[in-house]
Amino acid sequence: MKIVVIGAGAMGSIYGGHLSLNNEVFIVDTNKSIVDKINTEGLRIDEDGTTNVYRPTAVLSTEGLEDVDLVILFVKAIFSRAALEGNRQIIGPHTRLLTLQNGAGHEDLLKEFVPEEHVVIGTTEDNGAVLEPGHVRRGGTGRTNVGLLTEDQDGFLPLLRNAFDSCGFQVRIHDRIQQLIWDKLFTNVSLSAVTGVLQVDMGYIAANEYAWKMTVKLIHEAVLTARALGLECDEEAITEKVRMTSVNNPAGCTSIRADLRDGRKTEVDTISGAVLRAAAKCGLEVPTHELIVNMVHALEGRNQQK
């Protein structure tokens, strides 16, 4: 496959590096130091107790590249539109767009660039961290879950699975991929959102009765929305899973909390905001989620004034 990975952060590097073993891979990033480092020294990934070097082609721009088979989006969701607009020329009539980004609702944007049947959405259980330009750590491995919004009439997903699995991934194809995305979303729209607003560790949520009441309310609204979308949800089981995540990670720091703490814009619009948009489509009101989204944006505004 001819693959373009947009974003050379931890996950983009992990996928771009491994996929370059058996595919023609280009990693696009706006950071020249990262691009230069990958092209001169290779992409280094610490994994399984050693440092492996991979050789994808890193570029600052995709100008001159012909349309490709697959584009994988690995930028923060707030940069997705700009990333796709800036690389529109590589998207041809047969190109598929794949997002494994956190949150939900990414397909609405992707459908502005390709037909609905060419949008692939999913989740990844891999994780990693950037150590320095062109050097990342793969912290853990797991399944890459993918699915389509429509029927796979062209048999693309088995081709994707073979291409990925031959490079060390574990792809699982799902007929109801939205179920998996929302299963992951429940934790983010409750635990992540509340720790961000309160600026506390994950363990604080289950330990403080008021923080926990807010979290339970967010879970309830998200469950009602998911059910309205036709998804299956066991609210009691979801609530207990979130509680145990808090208990088992007392010093854990969520992405929304870290972004607010460090003065960065958050991905709240594709996390809690995804519930807002889905609820609106279903004619539901989710006032707690609306409050959380407004509070996060208010905190972002305060950070910009400092």
d(CA 173, CA 120): 11
Helix 272-282 with 209-228: angle, nearest 10 deg: 40
Where helices occur in 99-143 by DSSP H, the ranges are 106-110
| Sheet of strand 143-148: strand arrangement | 57-59, 24-28, 2-6, 70-73, 96-99, 119-124, 143-148, 170-173
User: Angle CA(265)–CA(16)–CA(173) in degrees, nearest 5?
Assistant: 90
| Amino acid 141: pLDDT | 81
Res. 67 pLDDT band, cuts 50 70 90: confident
pLDDT digits (tens, 9 = 90+) for 127-154: 889 999 999 999 878 899 999 999 999 9
R_g of the chain, CA atoms, integer Å: 19
d(CA 301, CA 293): 12
For residue 77, pLDDT over 70 is answered with yes
| Amino acid 102: pLDDT | 86
For residue 305, pLDDT over 80 is answered with no
| Amino acid 301: pLDDT | 82
d(CA 219, CA 246): 14
d(CA 230, CA 17): 37
The closest of 181, 108, 118, 111 to 144, measured between CA atoms, is 181
For residue 290, pLDDT over 90 is answered with yes
Q: Which residues contact 85 (CB under 8 A, 6 or more apart)?
A: none
d(CA 274, CA 213): 21
| Amino acid 292: pLDDT | 96
pLDDT digits (tens, 9 = 90+) for 173-194: 999 999 999 998 999 999 999 9
Structure-block tokens of residue 205: 């949520």
Structure-block tokens of residue 27: 């990693």
d(CA 301, CA 115): 36
Average pLDDT over residues 28-42: 96
For residue 29, pLDDT over 90 is answered with yes
Contact 275, 222 (CB under 8 A): yes
Question: Please, what is the average pLDDT of the chain?
Answer: 94
Structure-block tokens of residue 69: 């088979």
| Amino acid 103: pLDDT | 87
Q: Which residues contact 49 (CB under 8 A, 6 or more apart)?
A: none
Residue 274 has φ and ψ, to the nearest 5°, of: -65, -35
| Amino acid 192: pLDDT | 92
| Amino acid 132: pLDDT | 94
pLDDT digits (tens, 9 = 90+) for 84-118: 999 999 999 999 999 999 888 899 999 999 999 99
Res. 304 pLDDT band, cuts 50 70 90: low
Positions of E strands within the chain: 2-6, 24-28, 43-47, 50-54, 57-59, 70-73, 96-99, 119-124, 127-132, 135-140, 143-148, 170-173
pLDDT digits (tens, 9 = 90+) for 247-264: 999 999 998 999 999 999
d(CA 236, CA 94): 43
d(CA 6, CA 68): 13
Q: Residues of the chain with pLDDT > 90: what percent?
A: 90
88: number of Cβ within 10 Å: 9
Res. 204 pLDDT band, cuts 50 70 90: very high
